[in-house]
Structure 1
Amino acid sequence: MSDSALPRLRARTRPISDPGDLLRFAEPQDPAVWLRRGDGIVGGGCLWRGEFQGESRIRDAREVWDAILAQARVEDAVRVPGSGLVAFGAFTFAASSGYASVLQIPQFIIGRMDGKSFLTELFVTDSTVGSGPVPTVPVRLPLIIPDGPEAVTDLEPGEMTQERHREAVECALSRIEQGEFTKIVISRDQHGKIEPDADRRHIVRRLANTYPETWTYAVDGLIGASPEMLVRVLGRSVTARVLAGTLPRGANEADDAAAKRALADSAKNRVEHKFAIDSAIESLRRLDTHDDPDTGLTASPEPFLLGLPNVWHLASDIRGTLPQGSSVLDLVEALHPTAAVGGTPRKKAMPVIDELEPFDRRRYAGPAGWLSASGDGEWVVALRGAEVDADGSVTAFAGGGIVAGSEAADEFAETGPKFRPITEALKPLAE
């Protein structure tokens, strides 16, 4: 994509009074959303959209973004994460996917971060426009869009039936025993259909309200509430959250406490978690080619138990400093796919996923998030959600890590609670 084909953009961010529910300003059919605990950013309209495919899709997106920034003008009077010129993005899990990875820039962004509310207005200019400031006009909030029809459907099993899943897990275990790899993630699919004119914001709102501690995302029809932060860059500070090892929550207090203890004591889940942590740290260290003592990485000495309404996870946080000359998309490319959604070793496990899963994962378990002209960005692993197509078709995925000692029946059962967030978000409000 040549620079001449890219838009010349101006972005102006100004403070506003607290706008309340940010979702009221999102597009009903194609919301662009990033929320946690009620705060975040929402985009409206689409000023520019780029599509990328193949092995270099993330690298190509970074080059295009850099080219857009090189000819953009940004006036940011707020300067918090998510202000200024921002693009939302979602990348496919596999390079071989037949679906597009995207970056898209909205016509406006309304947000609330760090106690500050703001509105970013974006404009396409041409080369004849001077370098002076954008003319000052009063701040006018975008129109609030009333709620449309509910987005409801029952998800039904897809191509990966329970029997087919059992066969895939047993094949994976055999190949683990032969030493081909030590871990692989096998997922299954579910499908449904909402009305084409249904308001997708209903799905986003239910996820955000039910799972406020996760990162609720909506980008180009990909909607979910992920508990796993692939990478966050604020300034030069880098953080990532790794999840691997899962058990369902108990039905009552005693059962829940027992499930929590069982996960903490599970040798199988701890091994799975260690694979994921080691893989993430190795990926980040390979990226740092500079002699920079400030980029050292630290991880939680022991995994902690993260309780969500549907499951317990073993979790660890990684912290470090952005290597000089790197961007958040460089980190996204280095980390994806994590061992938590791919396998170990990565290069051995990925082709086998293609063999054992009878579908294209699309952007499930791929990176989804945002990045800004200031260099900030937040990207999750796209979990606990679904692809919602323009015609209303809904495709959801959930998976689990297979290591030595895994049981096929247990692995199939583990995916049930992972479908629960999107399944419940698609139920009628009366239920």
Structure 2
Amino acid sequence: MNADDLLKVFQAAHQRAVAYQRPVIAVSACAAPTLAPLALYQAHRQGFFWCAHSPDLSLFGLGCTWQIEATGSQRMAEVDRQWFALCADALVQGPHAPLLLGGMRFDDQRPSAPHWAPFADASFHLAHWLLSEDASGRWLRCQRVIEPGSDPAALAQQSLAAYEHLLNPTHNPAATPTVLGRSALPQYQWQAKVETALDAIVQGELNKVVLARHIDHRLDAALDTGAVMGRLYARRNASHLFAIHRGDHCFMGATPERLLSCASGHLSTHALAGSTRRGLKPNEDQALGERLLADPKEQHEHQLVVQTITQALHDKVSNLQAASRPSLLKLATVQHLSTPISARLNAGKRLLDGIQALHPTPAVGGLPRASALAFIREHEGFDRGWYAAPVGWLDAQGNGDFLVALRSALITPMHCHAFAGCGIVEGSLPAHEYEETQIKLASMQQALQLACPADTDGAYSQIRGETPYADTAQR
């Protein structure tokens, strides 16, 4: 990064800020072929990490030069308003626009649990230094917000010091924690919640509701989030990876589900519902997939999600297209029914309008949406926080990508909270639904490496040293 070029960009942005009497984003980007997002994240264990596919994009953001926090039902609209107001006069040197990173809570109406306190209803950061890797190569950008009263020379010095820290992180060896205990709702109690949901469905109160489980591991030391992400990366298959830090808390996961992405006004998403395990052998794996594709109960659950997504986007898009039948999305321990959906944004609409309309989809909430959310608040028994909510990025040109934060865990200094859920519809069997959560927990548990010496509640009985057959073509 050239110091003179950086100073010139900051000075030009300062002139703009003085002239307009409002903050201006300054971005200076340069090629960075020797830097790697995952390696930097593993070295720092802070900031924001992202590794998504279709299209391939990796990000590592460190430091925060500006943030938006919004609350309530209109939080996405407020994020959109503040972000695009700030971007209106952006001064950009290089091929990459400023980019905002963050996410939101699953349910803004539920009180926040203490372990989720650092994660606001909606929270987005403008990273001070952002490394990106895509088809165009690796690029490093410095992003600063320049105020009318800013000193461009002082800001440039601060940014160069942060750049040196980016390249030469402080080495803090991570301990290997021991699990002191684990709290999880016993199997029979969770299955009783499923029975309650089935009763509500029979009575016509619901068509579907997603019930999740929460496992709290109490540790004697902090987990090495960089090592966990490395293991997730090695087994990522068709999953998208993310890690979002707020202070000494980290929310991370390997999710199969994209909520919505936007590239030059073109929207992409997919319906993801209906699951079964992977087989240990190719023939078994194929048979399980074919059985899933033919299962009327799973097909019904899947079509509910397809219909709801297309209806939610209908008045915001044109040329809406969904595949006529689902295909199989194969992950490390589980395979899903998946239907691709595409559309074009209408004039005057933006990506966050679509996010607001879609979240929560029936794949993580239920149907009807309001009834399902009310049931979850009353019966699920814990705060999901950012679990099953949108996490992602948004740039100054309206492009962006948001995932549904599934197969995830919240890591705090002395705890690790893991989450998994499944959809309950007519015909669901409580024991089978519990086993589905076992399978979904398995991939994260393998990355966390936190199996308890005494497995009293059977939370991870799926793991017996066996590796399900993984179709490498899905990588």
Give deviations 1:309-334, integer Å, cap 9, x for gaps: 11110001100112211221111111
**Aligned pair count?**
412
Equivalent residue in structure 2 for 1:273, among 299, 302, 311: 302
Aligned mates of 1:115, 1:26 — CA distance in 2: 23
Equivalent residue in structure 1 for 2:274, among 245, 253, 257: 245
Partner of 2:368: 345
| The 10-residue stretch of structure 1 (198-207 or 380-389) with the greater mean CA deviation from structure 2 | 198-207
Following superposition, the deviation at residue 217 of structure 1 comes to 0.7
Following superposition, the deviation at residue 68 of structure 1 comes to 2.2
Following superposition, the deviation at residue 420 of structure 1 comes to 1.4
Q: Secondary structure at the match of 1:360?
A: coil
Aligned mates of 2:173, 2:22 — CA distance in 1: 34
Q: Is the 8 A contact 2:253 2:409 kept in 1?
A: yes
Following superposition, the deviation at residue 148 of structure 1 comes to 3.4
Change in Cα spacing, 1:25 to 1:384, as seen in structure 2 (3 Å) is: closer
Q: Is the 8 A contact 2:182 2:218 kept in 1?
A: no
Query: What runs of 5+ residues in structure 1 fail to find an aligned partner?
Result: 289-294
Q: Is the 8 A contact 1:249 1:311 kept in 2?
A: yes
Aligned mates of 2:225, 2:21 — CA distance in 1: 31
Q: Is the 8 A contact 1:156 1:190 kept in 2?
A: no
Give deviations 1:376-404, integer Å, cap 9, x for gaps: 10100000111123x24221110100000
Q: Is the 8 A contact 2:181 2:218 kept in 1?
A: no
Equivalent residue in structure 1 for 2:79, among 61, 64, 68: 61
Partner of 2:345: 322
Partner of 2:259: 230
Change in Cα spacing, 1:152 to 1:54, as seen in structure 2 (3 Å) is: farther
Map 1:92-171 onto structure 2 (within 5 A). Answer: 92-97=105-110, 98=112, 99=117, 100=120, 101-127=122-148, 142-145=166-169, 148-149=173-174, 158-171=183-196
Change in Cα spacing, 1:21 to 1:28, as seen in structure 2 (3 Å) is: closer
Following superposition, the deviation at residue 114 of structure 1 comes to 1.1
Aligned mates of 1:296, 1:49 — CA distance in 2: 35
Q: Secondary structure at the match of 1:251?
A: coil
Is residue 408 from structure 1 mapped to residue 421 from structure 2 by the alignment?
no
Change in Cα spacing, 1:414 to 1:154, as seen in structure 2 (3 Å) is: farther
Is residue 203 from structure 1 mapped to residue 231 from structure 2 by the alignment?
no
TM-score normalised according to structure 1 size: 0.88
Q: Secondary structure at the match of 1:47?
A: strand
Q: Secondary structure at the match of 1:46?
A: strand
Partner of 1:291: none
Change in Cα spacing, 1:426 to 1:231, as seen in structure 2 (3 Å) is: same
Following superposition, the deviation at residue 192 of structure 1 comes to 1.7
Following superposition, the deviation at residue 194 of structure 1 comes to 5.0
Aligned mates of 2:233, 2:104 — CA distance in 1: 22
Q: Is the 8 A contact 2:273 2:337 kept in 1?
A: yes
Change in Cα spacing, 1:208 to 1:182, as seen in structure 2 (3 Å) is: same
Change in Cα spacing, 1:114 to 1:417, as seen in structure 2 (3 Å) is: same
Change in Cα spacing, 1:196 to 1:233, as seen in structure 2 (3 Å) is: farther
TM-score normalised according to structure 2 size: 0.80
Q: Is the 8 A contact 1:385 1:396 kept in 2?
A: yes
Following superposition, the deviation at residue 11 of structure 1 comes to 1.4
Partner of 2:459: none
Query: What runs of 5+ residues in structure 2 fail to find an aligned partner?
Result: 1-16, 451-464, 466-475
Q: Secondary structure at the match of 1:362?
A: coil
Partner of 2:101: 88
Aligned mates of 2:21, 2:200 — CA distance in 1: 48
Give deviations 1:271-324, integer Å, cap 9, x for gaps: 000001111111111334xxxxxx221011100011111111000110011221
Q: Secondary structure at the match of 1:394?
A: strand
Q: AA paired with 1:424? A: Q
Give deviations 1:191-238, integer Å, cap 9, x for gaps: 124566543222222112211421101123210011101001011111
